[in-house]
Amino acid sequence: MCGICGIVDFNRKKIFSYQIKKMINVIKHRGPDDEGVFIDDNVGLGHTRLSIIDLSPTGHQPMFDRSGRFCIIHNGEIYNYLELKQELSTKYMFVTRTDTEVILYAYHEWGVECLDHFNGMFAFAIYDIKTRTLFLARDRFGIKPLYYYYNKETFIFASEIKSILQIVPEEKLINDRVIFDYLVYNRTDQYPETFFKNIKRLEHGHYAIIKDNNISFHRWYNLPEYINNPFQSPEELRDILIDSIRLRLRSDVPVGVCLSGGLDSSSITSILTSVLQKNDLQTFSAVYGKGKTGDESDYIDLYQKTVLKMHKISPNAQTLYNDIPSFIECHGEPVPSTSPYAQFKVMELAKEKVRVLLDGQGADELLAGYHYFFGNYFCELLLHGHLLKLLRESYLYYQNHRSLFAFQSLIFYLLPNSIKSKAKLMGRNYLRKDFYEQKRNNTQLVNTLFDARSLRQSLLYHFEYKLEHLLKWEDRNSMWFSLESRVPFLDYRLVEKILSLPPDEIIANGLTKFILRKAMKGILPEQIRLRKEKIGFMTPESEWFRTPLFQQFILELLNSDSFRQSPYFNYKACIKLYNLHLQRKINISHDIWKWINLGLWLNSMSG
C-alpha cells in the first residue's frame, strides 16, 4: 500500500522533481518507507512506499521493466500475483518478489486486458516512454483511490486530493451540489465529483489513457454483466471466502483483524483461527462499555480463548474533541457521521502492532446487512404478488427485530421519486433558504439510490454508488497510520456469485446474510451466527454531543462569524435544533456532526 502522484504538461513544459516531491510530502503517511521520482521532460511520476511484500530495495518505485520502456507506480496489492507470476515466468524474467513487477509484465503480455487477470485492490499508472502514453487504472470496486484534475494545459493525478492541491492551490473551489447531497442525503462519492468543483475521481472499474494531449476514459469492469453464476451451496461460498482470506494473508509483515463483534469480522476471525490455524492472531476493536450504544464487547470477548492478543480502545467525547483537527485533515473531505472515527481509533490502536489489517468492509452492501434492505425485499415480494411470503417474512422480521423500520422503508420505496425527495428534505430547515431552493429540485441522487424495487437492484445500486465512500474512509483511516487494510468480502469471485443469488438466499426467516449464516455453521460461534440485531460501527455520538465539553465547542462554532456567514446554514435554526437535542426532545447527532465537520473543513479551506 502506497501513495502515487503525477503530472503531464500538455504544453511540453518540463516537470521538475521539486513539484513531484511537494505532492509526495503531503501523502508521506501512505508510505513512510521509501519514495521515488521519475521525470521524462513534461511527464513526472512520484511514489511513496509502504513495504508489505518484498521489503528489500528491489521493490523501489517508480519501477521499470528490463527494457527500460515501461515505468510503473502502484498503490495496492494483487493477491494472486504468485499465480500470475508463474504463468508469466515462461516468457519474462522477474528480478523482484513484488506484485508490482507482476503488473508490469502482465501489461506487457495482455495490454489493458491485464486488468481482468487481477484479483486485488489497486490504483496504478504505467508510462510508456517510447510512445509517451500514460495508462491509469483502478480496481473493480474502488478499494484504492485515484483522483485527477485537468484543463487544456495539464493533467494531474494522485492518491489523495491534497496532493493535487499542492500544484493547483487555486482549485479549492467548493462543489455546492456535493455539499447539498452530503447534508440532505448523507451521501458522498456516488459520482465522480468531489467536494472540489474541478477535481474528480477516476471511477472504479475504469481506466484512462493520456496520449498526445488527449484523455480518454474507459470502463473495463461492469458488475451487472457478471451476475449470472450463483453459488450452488453455502459450502461453496464458505470455500471461496476461505480462499479469499488465505490470499489476503500474503504479506512479509504481521497481519491482524479489525474485530467489531458482528457477523462479518467475526467470520474472518473464525476462519483464521479455526480453519487456517493462525495461532498468532491479533485483533483490534472499539468498545464503549457494556450496555452502551455501539458496544459489542460480549461478542468480541467470545474470542478470548482462540486469539493470541486482543486489543481494545474506547473512543469517547474527549478523544473525539482532541482528534477532530487530525481526523478532518486525515479525510480531506467531510464525512457524514462519527462512525469512521471509531475505525480511525482502531487503526491508531493497531499501528504499533501490525502493518496489515483484514476488515469486514463491504459485507453489509453485499449481503443486505442494513434494515432498509428488508424494505427492498418486501417491495419485490409485493410487486410480484408473493403475498403469503410477504406476510411470513414481515411477521418474522417484526418478531426478530421489534421494529417498524422495514415497513416504513417499504412505503418509502413505493412512493414517486418527487415525494421521496420531499421526504428526504424534511427536517432540513437548518439549511439557508436560498441554498435549499437552488438545489431542492435536483432529484438525480434520489433516482439513483432510492428507486430500487427489488433486492438485487438495490444491492447493485449500493455497489455502484454507495460502497465507494465507505472504501474511501477505510483507505484514509488506515493509510493515515501507515497501515494496509484488506477486505476479503470484496473478492470479485464472492461478489459476483452472491449477487447472482435469488433474494431468499440473502434474506430469509426475517434475517439478513442468510447464506453466510448457513455457510459459517460449525465455524462461527452460535451466539454470533444467529444474532438478530445489527449494530455496525456505531458510536454514542448523541451522548457525546450533550457533554459540557461539546456543548461549549458546538455553541461557539454555531455562533462564530464563519458559521453565521455560511452560504449553507441558517445558524439560528441550528442553535434551536441543538438546544432541543440537549433537552433530549430530538436526536439529531448526525446533523450536528455534519455541522461540525463541514464548518471546520470550510474554515480550513479558506485558511
- β-partners of residue 484 are 356
In this structure, how many other beta carbons lie within 10 angstroms of the beta carbon of residue 216?
9
Cell of 457: 437492484
Long-range contacts: 310-313, Cβ < 8 Å, 24+? 310/259, 310/282, 310/283, 310/285, 311/282, 311/283, 311/284, 311/285, 311/349, 311/350, 311/353, 312/284, 312/285, 312/286, 312/287, 312/349, 313/284, 313/285, 313/286, 313/287, 313/345, 313/346, 313/348, 313/349
| 22 close to 166: Cβ distance less than 8 angstroms | yes
d(CA 510, CA 530): 12
Distance between CA atoms of residues 328 and 331, nearest Å: 5
For residues 196 and 173, the answer to whether their CB atoms sit within 8 Å is: yes
**Which grid cell sits at 415?**
412512493
In the set 2, 5, 114, 330, the catalytic residue is: 2
Alpha-carbon gap, residue 308 to 150, rounded angstroms:
50
Place of cell 440532505: 184
Question: Please, where are the H alpha helices in 174-312?
Answer: 176-185, 234-247, 263-270, 297-300
Give the orientation angle of helix 405-414 with respect to helix 387-401, to 10 degrees.
140
Catalytic residue flag (residue 114)? no
- How many H helices and E strands in the chain? 27, 17
With CA atoms as reference, report the closest residue to 376 among 420, 417, 407, 334: 407
Please say whether the beta carbons of 121 and 205 come within 8 A: no
Cβ proximity of 201 and 145 under 8 Å: yes
CA angle 374, 588, 467 (to 5 degrees): 45
Tell me the C-alpha distance between 276 and 13, whole Å: 54
Strands 255-258 and 356-358: parallel
Known catalytic residues are 2
